Structure 1
């Protein structure tokens, strides 16, 4: 074929096939690059950015849908606004109204003095770290973060119900809540402090005891019929690791001055505290003591009741200790009433469950400082046949000396 003085050669069949193969190869390379970009592991920063973008797009889409519904429900308003500027002002106005309506319930709860006090406590502890870590992908204010976390702690509610109240997805709520726990736990040594003043019998530093916090066991899928039967047996017999041991020392004002959390199968019965007292004897100076129940080791620093009373002196001594032990039980009842999540932690991860329990103990002291008093109902503890543990002979002598002093005081008072 010719065109003027130029001659055009039509591509042959083989040239067409070569050109097609080149195009297919180029398309394959592009597709491979796309697949690699989409499927290669993301770094933590890239993953956070991508998740943040998705969450913001979901929130924006939800708000746009709400605005569109309100615009469609107000045709007269659309007819009256004829200029372009007025039409553009409608979504903005309705967006503001929708945001106000959504936040109205939480704004009312923010007026709660407990939320304000905890917010101020966190703000004063480390304001720069709070600003950096607590905003979250959903840009929650610090007060909303405190409100959300206190709601999860004080009530037996699920992430799903809190998700609908705060208009956040469950994964984000989980992250915000445990970030809140980390911030509170960072203040542990400032809030849970060993007392410097004593009082009572003869001078009591504090009361030592423990309670159990039920948690969910991470049961795996049985591999065989025998394993299935074993899992069923473990569930029915409440295995040790289905709870946490929360060992505490409370002072005369029911503040916690010592806290130790362990797995159910790792019951320590004051062992860690005794080692600490041996290393730091100034914690319980001469003439002072801790009070603990039967089953804890009797020592010069820790006084326990007589397992069986045989004399009036021993009865008097046990009644005096019972007053302090009841104070400890009341502190535990108040803790579980204030933070009802501790009645059952629906989580099988020990570290996360421990973080929640420790956060509740720290906030217990914080709210007592605020003057927020919550009284729980003490549980009826069954009388267990527990053998007495004698740590040393000096403990026996110390208990005998205290018993004699109490009986002497009673006799002098009755004369």
Structure 2
């Protein structure tokens, strides 16, 4: 009986080891081994079929010319044929998709740690296939399972390849999402109002030009599992059904310039809304970031400062209404940039991941690539989502900001009365 119990216990441990090996995350070494094996099988099957077809065709031609010919002489050439076919396959992917080619060249030229043909640590997966796989996951709302089927790779490997790609793209963040300075900043300035005819005269009197537009948007994510109710002031049990848990989205804060290019990006948890606080503090320490006679435009709820102008929460006079109208045109440009971002990278419509750092990585990758595609000349226009008007209070108003806003509102209205609008 004791021997039987020992055997049962041993069998139980074996079963648990199998289950654990199946469900626990694989080590880096195991993932590399499985990835290489999967890619080898995919390439081998493709090459064997092509080589076999070529050999059969050659044998038929040779047999008609000389019945005594043997195919032994062609065997040493197979490794050369395989290498050529692999290179041809990668070239076809790049030529068929200019976007894949552009991003591949971008990563190869900007990341010295990258192999010119393959991802680092991916001995047999070409760079072009890695880019195609990753852009597929970003641009479409598809699962790892469906992509795994298309690329003949395991889901665990798909996950690792994708986030390795994201890390390499994010490494270029400071070079691609860059705050303009000097002459570049001056060249990107826009008139405060697009419908006044004598902007120079008004600018001399104090009407600023616009460097960029500050705003934010929400990126829905999966609520982390097992999150305790007491982490927020209002437990889930007492939370109204219409109220969404704050950690079920990310706050994506951006500044876009006149071309819809992102020059600033900040990502935070839904429960840690920033609303421009980080950028405001940065501008206070480095006021030279905004050229003299220029400002940023932001929506209601963002800090009102001398360098960041926001709308009046409710227009109570002709001056305020006219001022809000001018700001509305700039805020519309920001909304279009966000719509373009979400249209191109549809994965941002809902990130099925409850891990904040991974979700942040995906969002930041999309923002960097947004600028990369603009550099490429690839423009995608998204439909601006109609959102409900929020009753947001004006917060963090400093005296200089209030005075600046009143000055601008009065200048716009006086120009209207003078007939210069």
Query: Is the 1:122–1:130 Cα contact (8 Å) retained in structure 2?
Result: no
Aligned to 1:204: 210
Residue 139 to residue 236, structure 1, CA distance change in 2 (3 Å): farther
Residue 52 to residue 174, structure 1, CA distance change in 2 (3 Å): closer
Query: Is the 1:138–1:168 Cα contact (8 Å) retained in structure 2?
Result: no
Q: Which of these residues, 177, 180, 188, is aligned with residue 162 of structure 2?
A: 177
Aligned to 2:99: 114
* Structure 1 position 137, deviation (Å): 3.6
- Relative to structure 2, which stretch is displaced further, 83-92 or 362-371? 83-92
For residues 49 and 293 of structure 1, what CA distance do their matches in structure 2 show?
47
What TM-score do the two structures reach when normalised by structure 2? 0.75
Aligned to 1:256: 262
RMSD, matched Cα = 4.0
* Structure 1 position 158, deviation (Å): 1.4
- Superposed CA deviations along residues 276-297 of structure 1, whole A, max 9, x for unmatched, are 1111111124421111111112
For residues 401 and 257 of structure 1, what CA distance do their matches in structure 2 show?
27
Residue 166 to residue 402, structure 1, CA distance change in 2 (3 Å): same
Aligned to 2:3: none
- Superposed CA deviations along residues 15-46 of structure 1, whole A, max 9, x for unmatched, are xxxxxxxxxxxxxxxxxxxx9xxx9xxx9675
- Relative to structure 2, which stretch is displaced further, 56-65 or 249-258? 56-65
* Structure 1 position 402, deviation (Å): 0.8
For residues 153 and 96 of structure 1, what CA distance do their matches in structure 2 show?
31
For residues 235 and 138 of structure 1, what CA distance do their matches in structure 2 show?
51
Query: Is the 1:110–1:143 Cα contact (8 Å) retained in structure 2?
Result: no
- Superposed CA deviations along residues 247-291 of structure 1, whole A, max 9, x for unmatched, are 000111110010000011100111111111111111124421111
Structure 2: state its 5+ residue gaps.
1-16, 193-207, 229-234
Query: Is the 1:67–1:91 Cα contact (8 Å) retained in structure 2?
Result: no
- Superposed CA deviations along residues 350-377 of structure 1, whole A, max 9, x for unmatched, are 1111111001001101111111110000
- Superposed CA deviations along residues 60-97 of structure 1, whole A, max 9, x for unmatched, are 885699689989x99x97xx69876449859959x969
Query: Is the 1:135–1:142 Cα contact (8 Å) retained in structure 2?
Result: no
For residues 147 and 32 of structure 2, what CA distance do their matches in structure 1 show?
24
- Superposed CA deviations along residues 215-267 of structure 1, whole A, max 9, x for unmatched, are 11232499xxxxxx968979975311111000000111110010000011100
For residues 141 and 64 of structure 1, what CA distance do their matches in structure 2 show?
15
- Relative to structure 2, which stretch is displaced further, 247-256 or 236-245? 236-245
Residue 182 to residue 219, structure 1, CA distance change in 2 (3 Å): same
1:87-166 aligned at under 5 Å gives the runs 89=75, 103=89, 107-108=92-93, 110-131=95-116, 134-137=119-122, 139-166=124-151
Aligned to 2:340: 334
Does residue 288 of structure 1 match 2:304? no
For residues 350 and 263 of structure 2, what CA distance do their matches in structure 1 show?
24
Residue 256 to residue 56, structure 1, CA distance change in 2 (3 Å): closer
For residues 60 and 221 of structure 1, what CA distance do their matches in structure 2 show?
44
Structure 1: state its 5+ residue gaps.
1-34, 223-228
What TM-score do the two structures reach when normalised by structure 1? 0.76
Residue 306 to residue 231, structure 1, CA distance change in 2 (3 Å): closer
Bigger Rg, structure 1 or 2: 1
For residues 32 and 333 of structure 2, what CA distance do their matches in structure 1 show?
50
